Amino acid sequence: MRPSVMTFRVRAYGFILRLGWAIALTLFVFDLWVFPLGLDLKLWTPILSALNAPVSALSLFLPCLERPLDFPFGDCRHWGYQSGAETFARHVRFSVPVYVLFFYLPNILGASWSAWRRLRERQASSEPSAPGRT
């Protein structure tokens, strides 16, 4: 098998895994926030708030009517004029791409760090040595 096909398969597999985890996390947060099913919310509220923090932080840039579930940062309460289906659709449409990007963040940071290190090494090796130094 050609290396380019193998690289594509590995990257596609990684994307599909990240997409699956993003969908699962979205459904987990939404279901436990809307339907706690008898669970103690004192225990689950900090956990759900931490899991939903990236989505909530980015949703602050949206108008109030377009926001998904916006806890812990948002103060927009849209339950009175929006159906549960609309809230679910908005939450899924907004949070899945946010989580996918969030899951790619370690790869992006690692690639940026290694490119920065290579650039510094290349600049250090191309600098002429000062006179009197060996």
- pLDDT score for 44: 84
pLDDT at 10 over 80: yes
pLDDT at 2 over 70: no
If one counts every other C-beta atom within 10 angstroms of the C-beta of residue 14, the result is: 13
- pLDDT score for 74: 61
pLDDT at 7 over 90: no
- Domain ranges across the chain: 3-122
Which pTM value belongs to this model? Answer: 0.75
pLDDT at 4 over 80: no
pLDDT tens figures, 65-102: 777 776 766 666 655 567 778 888 888 999 999 999 99
Rounded distance between C-alpha atoms, residue 119 and residue 125, angstroms:
10
